[in-house]
Structure 1
Amino acid sequence: MPKQVADHILERLRDWGVEQVFGYPGDGINGLVAAFGRAGDRPRFIQSRHEEMSAFEAVGYAKFSGKAGVCAATSGPGAVHLLNGLYDAKLDHVPVVAIVGQTARSAMGGHYQQEIDLLSLYKDVAGEYVQMAMVPEQFPNLIDRAFRVALAERAPTAVIVPADLQEMEYSPPAHAFKQVPSSVPGYEPPVTCAPQEQVARAAEVINSGSRVALLVGQGARGAVEEVQQVAEVTGAGVAKALLGKDVLSDELPYVTGPIGLLGSRPSYELMRDCDTLLIVGSNFPYSQFLPEFGSARAVQIDVDGKMIGMRYPTEVNLVGDAATTLRALIPRLRRQEDRSWRETVEGNVRRWWETVERQARVPAEPVNPMLLFWELSARLPDDAIVTADSGSAANWYARDLRFRGRMRGSLSGTLATMGPGVPYAIGAKFAHPSRPAVALVGDGAMQMNGLAELLTIARYRERWSDPRLIVAVLHNNDLNQVTWELRGMGGSPKFEESQNLPDMDYAAFARAIGLEGIVVDAPEEIGPAWDRALAADRPVVLDVHCDPDVPPIPPHAEFEQLKDVAEAIMKGDPDSFGVVRKGLRTKAQELFSRT
């Protein structure tokens, strides 16, 4: 039987080392689906419950594997459904390749069923590279370029393949005019270093300071040793952007933790009091949480010249690989012999972790959500992979979890979309089937799509050598983050019609599909529940009944935010008594630590 275009596409995916494609079938990719059958499911077709979940699973796989994730969807609605996950990849700089079906070429332009102008639709989300195939000879070049651009630009790309073309006989490009060949699959990123004269200027700026602060993001992941050397020489404290939470161990005494709205007090104090700032591999967007303009001199290192110098008035911008550029910088740095700044930073960090524990132990009704995260911290295996959803879960993930060892973690950092927590964990399990994964999600995200994706976990769990995938649900029947944003950003009381969620027994649902389900409705049950889940022989859902009135108050809450919350209460917030009582008790733990 002649090889079809779809057969060739799968062959090329195998050449690129692709082991699974996250997707959902439809007649727009019938030819591709049939090719999976002829190929003996190589690469494996991983069927999600929804195309958006396929894209999120591809993003999770890419984030935790360092490879390009691949997702596939049919024409029309399937292609539309991929968009949110692909935008998550775009905004967090993650390589994902989407293979999308399209109406048959003979029907295009005829207002045919499921016909959408996909090139226009995908122009923004996959703007680095989106192409529609029209003849077999465009392959393998379209697939190869999609991968190389995705990896080089750390971005989503898309190849659109009309349904009839998938079933055509494949013929490679000829050595002929207007045909484009391709080379052996593979991509290795260039190792670049900023020019030495700029490195010297950066060293002068850093050496002139006595209170140095570092801010690291996901771009510093390959430069852990170098970042630690810089911190040791300069006596700096190190804050971490949200996507860089797993870059440095929180057991290092000078690591101040997260920064920004979800940040820690020592990170706030680090930025407030430093006189010199070095930003490495971070595009942290909230300049109000960086030093006051004019109070600190600043240097930035980033591999992407398009993203540099736009978050803070930096004096020196070093475009280059973080590790290579830092290695060139370190010999030029002068050791800071006065360690008083470092001692101040470390003292702030020690007090902060004491504060976090006290806040986690503030009584709540029935469970303080911070306690769920605090109890997990000490129990996490050193090789665990942790995902979090957007919402209040992201607050506690950022502030209460202490990462160490080989732990990895991520969430939707820039798009901040609801829904990726569970599919990210699924993608992580396919990237590292021998490592445990934990997804920390709110009940809003769980009802939005997490419940359905538990079916995907049940279906594929036998493929993972380590069976542990724990989904912890913060069950409070409230869209909690938005509720607090209504109070804290606009002074509006909780609007129950939009904020209240229907009650649901998440543990019972898990048990009904062959997973383990554990209900937690008392604080003394949290530790034993984590122990049981981490020792289980199958995936587990922890249904944790949390108190919605425990506030995610930033340690650097501004007067206007507190005033807005007070106004919301005075306007008749339905939970006003609990908000005041638990808010004051939570904030008091922080104030106590500073006396």
Structure 2
Amino acid sequence: MTETVADNLLRRLSEWGVTRIYGYPGDGINGILGALDKVMDNFEFVQARHEEEAAFMACAHAKFTGEVGVCLATSGPGAIHLLNGLYDARADHQPVLAIVGQQPSTALGGHFLQEVDLPALFKDVARDYVHMCTHPQQLRHLVDRALRISKGKRAVTCLVLPADVQEMDAEEPARAHGTMHSGLGYAALPGVAPEPALQQAAEVLNAGEKVAILAGAGALGATAEVAQVAETLGAGVAKALLGRAVLPDHLPYVTGSIGLLGTRPSWEMMRDCDTLLMIGSGFPYAEFLPKEGAARGVQIDIDPGMLSLRYPMEVNLAGDAAATLRALLPLLKPKTRGAWRETIEANVAEWWDEVDKRAHQSAEPINPERLFWDLSPQLPDNAIITADSGTSANWFARALKLREGMMASLSGGLATMCPAVPYATAAKFCYPDRVAIAFAGDGAMQMMGNSALLTAAKYWQRWEDPRMVVAVLNNGDLNQVTWELRAMGGYPKVEETQNVPAFNYAQYAELIGLKGIRVEDPEALSDAWAQALSADRPVVIDAVVDPNVPTLPPHITYDQAKNYMTALIKGDPNAGKIVKQALKRALA
């Protein structure tokens, strides 16, 4: 049987080691779908409920495996739907390949049905490589370059295949002028800075008396090295949101998350340090880093474009975090345990005590912080945790204790709504023997989460361990935006824009064949987690939480306090309850 371009596409993907494709069908990719039917032994096709979900899943695949995530969508509207998930991958520097159909090449330029200029549409999100295949002999080098660039640059790439080209007979490139003869494979260099730069970095770090480390997603593969550097330098370690799993939270010098969603110990450490070592992080908020000139800086990042961008570093080391730290360690002079480290550890211990007290404060009906706090001691080994944007990200950042071997992620740079459930579902495909747990607000659930649960309902019986838990913060409010209205804009809650329709997520879970647990009593939370983590199928915990529990940043500015009070004075409908909860937390 003659091989088509679509057959050739799938064969080449398979030769690159691609085994899973996340997507949604449409007539613009009929040729690819037909070819896929013939090679299902080589691929697992995960049918998402929406193309955006497929792109989120491809992004999560990349985050949790380090390999290129591949998503597939039809032409026109299907391709358009991919964009938000692809921007999520681009913002977090994840390797994702989007394959999209296109109307027949003979119709292009004729204002044909669903005709969209797809190379132009994807030019920003896939800026490192987007191309349309117009001839069978192009296919090989287009696939090779798209995958190699995606892996090498940790970037989003895109291939556009018109419907008629998919059905054409495959052709290997002729040995002639103007043809390409590309090959397979890519092996990343460990990337270590030159010895003089390492020596300079060591001099800065050895001279510091109060060293602070900020670890991000780029340090996820360097857990042992980061811990060893911290011990050698007597440093504390703060973690950017995407680096939550770099070090376990039981270590006494790990100050937790940093930034608006961060902890007080992280804020205090950055405020008082005299030396900053930033590892694999693009943390964006300058106000949570040392004041310019107050600390000397050393940065390690695999992307030279991210060096000395957030803070003016004295030494910039371009390279892989683990390899660079291993090369740097012999040059570092061990510091004796001093007041700096003792202060950090005391602040961390005090912080976790405060979190415990705050999580157990009464609310109407459930304090959302307790939903996270009660999970920590029950977290299964090697669990994979995801969170949505919103207040679920706040509590994920502050109130959950991760252990070594766990993975955790959310939408970092884009901070978009809706990835939590797709991320967790993709994690189950990547690691079917591990437990995945997603936290999402009711706004995100109604936007995409409910439909994404149908994907889990479709596939969960294939998973070696069927356990996947989606914990919904059900508060009837677009809560993060409501708090931002108050603290950033000085506006009271606008009920017409902020209230979310009532919905019983536990009943919905039961309706689609999953298990649902509705919790309205804080004393029932621990048991709900125990039930969910011992269930024989995915579970939705529908936790009715109080929208008036404030998610206070570690440091409140004058403007934030002023805006907050202005919002209450203007007549916020929940002013009395907010003041009551704020006083409780302040007293704690």
Deviates more, 1:30-39 or 1:259-268: 30-39
User: Which 4+ stretches in 1 moved above 6 angstroms?
Assistant: none
Deviations 1:359-402 (A, max 9, x none): 10110000000000000111111210000000000000000111
1:537 paired residue number:
536
- Kindly indicate whether residue 177 of structure 2 is the aligned counterpart of residue 174 of structure 1: no
Is structure 2 residue 463 aligned with structure 1 residue 484?
no
CA distance in 2, matches of 1:411, 1:187: 27
Partners of 1:584 and 1:346 lie apart in 2 by 27
Distance in 1 between the 2:313 and 2:306 partners?
13
| AA partner of residue 339 (structure 1) | G
Provide the residue aligned with 1:210 in structure 2: 209
Deviations 1:396-453 (A, max 9, x none): 0000111112110000001000010000111111111110000000000000000011
**CA distance, structure 2, for counterparts of residue 557 and residue 245 of structure 1:** 23
How far the C-alpha of 1:224 sits from its partner, in A, is 1.5
Residue 163 of structure 2 aligns with which residue? 163
SS of alignment partner, residue 374 of structure 2? helix
Partner of 1:123: 123
Residue 531 of structure 1 and its aligned partner are, at CA, apart by 0.2
Contact 1:173 1:180 in 2 (8 A): yes
Asked if the contact 1:92/1:413 (under 8 Å) is kept, the reply is: yes
Q: How does 1:134-173 map to 2 (within 5 A)?
A: 134-173=134-173
Equivalent residues of 1:65, 1:432 under 8 A apart: no
Question: Which runs of structure 2 are paired with 1:480-519 in the superposition (5 Å)?
Answer: 480-519=479-518
* Equivalent in the alignment of 2:110: 110
Structure 1 counterpart of 2:342? 343
What does residue 57 of structure 1 align with? 57
Is there any run of 5+ residues in structure 2 with no aligned partner, and where? none
Which segments of 5 or more consecutive residues in structure 1 lack a partner in the other structure? Answer: 590-595
Corresponding residue for residue 283 of structure 2: 284
Residues 159-189 of structure 1: CA deviation (Å, up to 9, x unaligned): 0000000011111112221111121x33221
Alpha-carbon deviation of 1:588? 2.0
Alpha-carbon distance, 1:295 to partner: 1.0
Quote how far apart the aligned CAs of 1:356 are: 0.6
Match of 1:593 in 2: none
1:253 positional shift: 0.7
- Determine the structure 2 residue equivalent to 1:450: 449
1:547 corresponds to which residue? Answer: 546
Please say if residues 191 and 321 of structure 1, whose CA atoms lie closer than 8 Å, have aligned partners that are also in contact. yes
Corresponding residue for residue 8 of structure 2: 8
Find the counterpart in structure 2 of residue 228 from structure 1. Answer: 227
Q: Give 1:462's aligned amino acid.
A: Q
What is the alpha-carbon distance in structure 2 between the residues aligned to residue 180 and residue 502 of structure 1? 56
Asked whether the 8 Å contact 2:247–2:404 carries over to 1, the reply is no
Secondary structure (helix, strand or coil) at the match of 2:220 reads helix
Paired amino acid for 2:179: Q
Larger mean CA deviation between 327-336 and 344-353 belongs to: 327-336
Residue range with higher mean Cα deviation, 434-443 or 194-203? 194-203
Matching residue's letter, 2:473: L
Task: Give secondary structure in 2 for the equivalent of 1:157.
Answer: strand
Residue in 2 that maps onto 1:29? 29
Deviation at 1:587? 2.4
Q: Matches of 1:162 and 1:351 in 2, distance apart? A: 60
AA of the residue aligned to 1:127 = R
Partner of 2:305: 306
| 1:338, distance to aligned residue in structure 2 (A) | 4.6
CA contact under 8 A between 1:13 and 1:43: conserved in structure 2?
Answer: no
Matched residues in 2 for 1:79 and 1:338: separation? 56
Query: Retained in 1: the 8 A contact 2:245–2:404?
Result: no
**Whole-Å separation in 1 of the counterparts to 2:449 and 2:255:** 32
Conserved in 2, the CA contact under 8 Å of 1:36 and 1:42?
A: no
Partner in structure 1 of residue 44 of structure 2: 44
2:438 maps to: 439
Where 2:312 maps in the other structure, the secondary structure is coil
Look up the match of 2:406: 407
The residue number in structure 2 matching 1:419 is 418
Greater CA drift, 31-40 or 280-289: 31-40
Q: Do 1:173 and 1:179's aligned partners in 2 also have CA atoms closer than 8 Å?
A: yes
Which residue in the other structure is 2:274 paired with?
275
Residues 524-562 of structure 1 deviation map (CA, whole Å, 9 limit, x = unaligned): 110000000000000000000000000101121122212
* Contact 2:53 2:422 (C-alpha < 8 Å) held by counterparts: yes
Structure-2 separation of matches of 1:259 and 1:223: 19
User: Cα deviations across residues 436-484 of structure 1 (Å, max 9, x unaligned)?
Assistant: 0000000000000000111111001112101011010000010000000
Match of residue 75 from structure 2: 75
1-structure distance, mates of 2:293, 2:11: 56
Instruction: Give the Å deviation of 1:275.
Output: 0.6
Q: Which residue of 2 aligns with 1:592?
A: none
Farther-moved stretch of structure 1 (388-397 vs 563-572): 563-572
- Note if contact 1:468-1:540 (Cα within 8 Å) is conserved in structure 2: yes
**Does the 8 Å CA contact 2:119/2:132 hold for their aligned counterparts?**
yes
Cα distance, 1:53 vs structure 2: 0.5
- How far, CA to CA, are the matches of 1:513 and 1:225 in structure 2? 43
CA distance in structure 1 between the partners assigned to 2:459 and 2:113 by the alignment:
33
Take 1:58 and 1:325, find their aligned partners in 2: how far apart are those partners?
Answer: 29
Alignment-derived partner of residue 17 in structure 1 = 17
CA distance in 1, matches of 2:15, 2:546: 51
Report matched runs for 1:462-477 at 5 Å: 462-477=461-476
SS in 1 for 2:393: helix
Q: Letter of the aligned partner of 2:175 in structure 1?
A: H
Say which SS state the counterpart of residue 140 (structure 1) adopts. helix
Task: Give the Å deviation of 1:141.
Answer: 1.2
Distance in structure 2 (CA, Å) of the matches to 1:142 and 1:352? 52
Give the % identical residues.
57
**Contact 1:389–1:441 (CA under 8 A) maintained in structure 2:** yes
**Using the alignment, how far apart are the partners of 2:140 and 2:29 within structure 1?**
18
How many Å separate the matches in 1 of 2:349 and 2:101?
Answer: 54
Question: Distance in 2 between the 1:60 and 1:583 partners?
Answer: 36
Give the drift of 1:41.
Answer: 5.8
SS in structure 2 opposite 1:46? strand
Taking the aligned partners of 1:393 and 1:277, their CA distance within structure 2 comes to 29
Write out per-residue CA displacement over residues 130-168 of structure 1, whole angstroms, 9 at most, x where no aligned residue. 010001111211111111111111111000000000011
Tell me which moved more, 337-346 or 371-380: 337-346
CA distance in 1, matches of 2:205, 2:404: 29
Report the Cα distance in structure 2 between the residues aligned to 1:309 and 1:166, rounded to whole angstroms.
45
Query: Contact 1:223/1:323 (CA < 8 Å) preserved in 2?
Result: yes
Q: CA deviation at 1:339?
A: 1.7
- The one-letter code of the counterpart of 2:576 is F
Work out whether 1:325 is the aligned partner of 2:324: yes
SS at 1:107 equivalent:
coil
Aligned residue type for 2:352: W
Residue 179 of structure 2 aligns to a residue whose secondary structure is coil
Give the SS at the match of 1:145. helix
Structure-2 residue corresponding to 1:84: 84
Report deviation, 1:251: 1.1
In 1, distance between residues paired with 2:62 and 2:191? 23
SS in structure 2 opposite 1:373? helix
> Contact 2:532/2:539 (CA < 8 Å) preserved in 1?
yes
Q: Matched residues in 1 for 2:61 and 2:326: separation?
A: 30
What letter is aligned with 1:44? E
Amino acid at match of 2:571: G
Aligned equivalent of 1:191: 190
Partner residue, 1:381:
380
Q: How many Å apart are 1:44 and its aligned residue?
A: 2.0
